[in-house]
A and B are shown apart, each in its own frame.
Chain A
Amino acid sequence: MKKLLKNKTVLANARIYLLVTLGFVVMFFMNNAGMLSSSWKGYLVPICVYISLAVSLNLLVGICGELSLGHAGFMGIGAFTGIVIAALLKGKVESDFLRLLIAMVGGGILSGILGFLIGIPVLRLRGDYLAIVTLAFGEIMKNIIGNLYAGTDNNGFHMAVTTTKMALGDGGKYIINGPMGATGVQKLATFPMGFLLVLFTLFVVLNLVNSKEGRAIKAVRDNRIAAESVGINVTAFRMKAFVVSAVLAGMAGALFGLNYSSITASKFNFNTSINILVFVVMGGMGNILGSVISATVLYVLPEAMRSLEDYRLILYAVVLILVMLFTWSPKVKEKVAIVSDKFSRMFKKKEVETNG
């Protein structure tokens, strides 16, 4: 019995890793063989980023049961931290790969620290109130980053949050230029690094979910009072999940920021947070594989619909509503079940016929 239980989760996890690795290998070789269109090449890194974001948000929303509407805020912190670190290390760290890695780790750490600081007051709230506070946090972050200046001059590195432009001395070069964001960013992000990030995210989240911490987190979600009654420090576990999620989002953000030659704070707005949330809910709350697939499909979907021009986003909206109805509505599901039942019966009949 015990063996079987263990095998079940191990198997499920192995399936996720396998699928992701398979996807990577196929894409990697197709890319190297020049079989990918420019569009697809362009999707690779963002898909990895959004998978990581969706999986990390799933930890919070699906597994922990806390609705967060400010995930893009952590992504933004990671992005701008990563950009600054990468710019400062230019010429000091030779390997681009290493520089990217350091930038991502740095982005993750800062995002985690901020997540912790915000978590102290915020995690006292529950449900929709927590949701609105995370929304507020995302907006505050966006506002602050929008007035953030960072740059180097002959005297070294300067950084300021100010309404009037920060002045730099001789040889000054802005890395982040307030409302204008970061421009002239060296594109360091690579698909293999994206893959590593996804693997790392999966590794952390899956291991967390299938450990005593994960059990505690799920217990808190299922029944907070009962969890407290068996000695679980609910706030501490919500905090752990919150910080881990923030760290992963920060790392993904750093990769994202270093994938484009320019980025502004307004990218990390409410809409981006909501998009990630859509990935999570569409993939199924608490379903990690679901997050991976839905992030991929839903990222590519609106892009694949480019030929529809003006009707593209309205169709995306329709798809969104229909999928929600199909996956959740009891009535619609019933009807789908009837139809699929008929189909399967038809198939079975055919099988019998062919067999006979």
Chain B
Amino acid sequence: MKKFIALMLAMLMVMGLMAGCSSSETAAEAPAAESAAGAIKLGMCGPLTGGAAVYGTAVQAGMEIAVEEINAKGGLQFALNCQDDEHDTEKAANAYNALKDWGMQIMAGPVTTAPSNVVAGECANDQIFMLTPSASGVSVIEYGDNIFQICFTDPNQGVASADYMASRELGTTIGVIYDSSDVYSAGIYEKFAAQAEANGLNIACVEAFTADNKADLTTQVTKCKDAGCDLVFLPFYATEAAQVLTYANTIDYSPIFFGCDGLDGVLTVEGFDPALAEGVMLLTPFSADSSDVATQMFVAKYQDKTGIVPNQFAADAYDVIYAIAQACEKGGVTADMSASEINAIMVEQFTSMTFDGLTGKGMTWAATGEVSKSPMAVVIENGTYVGVE
């Protein structure tokens, strides 16, 4: 019993401490949030800590830039609240509820697919409009009519990749390495495999890894090499890609490496030698080296803010805010509307509007919530992305 009291006391102490901290914290934040009296409350949740934090923090930064820009213009005002979901379904539900308590009117997230599956269910249920920047799983938008994506769905990427390979005759013997514990990676692979078969591509080698054993990817690369693959498809994220490319280089293996949007950012992995990524092709809607003025401005601001070059996650996030802003303006959304009123307007706007953003021009959305924009193939040359026509 004594032990118990001690435990409770310690808890209370810490709680008290935290209450103190948190009150000061909110005070510090107040200006940003308060200036938006009458601002529309946007909620975002994503992995801000843990292994997937790099995506969550990129999205957060991208959104913050967009919100700052829009608020600075006057007129439509946004308040943004970012919650950590640790790339975990359970935590995502908690993050979502925390946002609801804050008074969120539009959900501009989550970042990754697995948590999005949970949050999408809630948003559909609560009639809160949801536009995810980067959760590309096809299951996400199946939860309701008010769930939208600004990124390609995974199947689209898989299909597009297979089509692209077939039409350009990029490789004769194809190897695939994917992360079977990751919804995004497994989702792309699944459709890619189906489409590749339809296109008559020769997949000689399919290797997987999981979040637990991705520390060592040498075996998978060696197997692709042994199978004589001259094209290796890497539908996963930049971190692991850096590993694959580094190891391939050490064993003198240089097929065409082909990736999807997750691969974007491989050049900005700190300490990675960009020379190793020479010749890597990827399908991505965004390239930080684009000559587009808006992109350049965004890249500059992002670098100012975070010190690193934005990847496609950040760009998607930036677009999400602008797309929402556009729909809000057109639909006449005001901050005093309820979330479900806004929801109805947003669904109507999104299914009818056309949006130009950093990650694509002339984007439109189907009633399912799926975006239609054209993927762009880029190849890495001299350490930068170069568009391939």
Whether A333 pairs with B6 at a CB distance below 8 angstroms is yes
Least CB distance, B385 to chain A, in whole angstroms: 29
Least CB distance, B138 to chain A, in whole angstroms: 9
B7 neighbours in A (Cβ, 8 Å): 282-284, 290, 294, 323, 326-327
Whether B139 pairs with A179 at a CB distance below 8 angstroms is no
Q: In this complex, what residue of A is CB-closest to B9? A: A326
Whether B183 pairs with A181 at a CB distance below 8 angstroms is yes
Q: A38-B97, A301-B15, A304-B15 are in contact. List 10 more A-B contacts (CB 8 A).
A: A37-B97, A43-B97, A178-B180, A180-B186, A184-B142, A262-B117, A262-B139, A269-B212, A307-B26, A323-B7
| Complex Cα gap A307–B95 (Å) | 11
Whether A146 pairs with B181 at a CB distance below 8 angstroms is yes
Q: Which chain B residues have a beta carbon within 8 Å of chain A's beta carbons?
A: 3-4, 6-11, 14-15, 18, 21-22, 25-26, 48-49, 83-84, 88-90, 93-98, 100-101, 114, 117-118, 120-122, 137, 139, 142-143, 180-183, 185-187, 190, 208, 210-212
A221 within 8 A of B: no
Stretch at the interface among A126-134, A201-209, A224-232, A312-320: A312-320
Query: Which of the listed residues A147, A283, A323 has the most CB atoms from chain B within 10 Å of its own CB?
Result: A323
Whether B118 pairs with A260 at a CB distance below 8 angstroms is yes
Whether A322 pairs with B10 at a CB distance below 8 angstroms is yes
Given that A187-B121, A309-B84, A310-B49 are known contacts, is A260 also in contact with B181, CB under 8 Å in the complex?
Answer: no
A350 within 8 A of B: no
6 nearest CB pairs, A to B: A261-B121, A262-B117, A42-B97, A179-B186, A38-B100, A307-B22
Given that A146-B210, A262-B121, A287-B4 are known contacts, is A306 also in contact with B84, CB under 8 Å in the complex?
Answer: yes
A315 neighbours in B (Cβ, 8 Å): 14, 18
Q: Is the interface of B mostly helix, strand, loop or mixed?
A: helix
A326 neighbours in B (Cβ, 8 Å): 6-7, 9-10
Partner of B89, one of A177, A184, A260, A303: A260
Whether A301 pairs with B89 at a CB distance below 8 angstroms is no
Q: Mark A263-301, 1 if CB is under 8 A from B, else 0.
A: 111110100000000000011100101100110010001
Q: In this complex, what residue of A is CB-closest to B92? A: A260
Whether A327 pairs with B121 at a CB distance below 8 angstroms is no
Q: In this complex, what residue of A is CB-closest to B88? A: A267
A66 neighbours in B (Cβ, 8 Å): none
Least CB distance, B318 to chain A, in whole angstroms: 21
B26 neighbours in A (Cβ, 8 Å): 307
Whether A262 pairs with B122 at a CB distance below 8 angstroms is no
Q: In this complex, what residue of B is CB-closest to A42? A: B97
Least CB distance, B270 to chain A, in whole angstroms: 19
| Complex Cα gap A207–B96 (Å) | 39
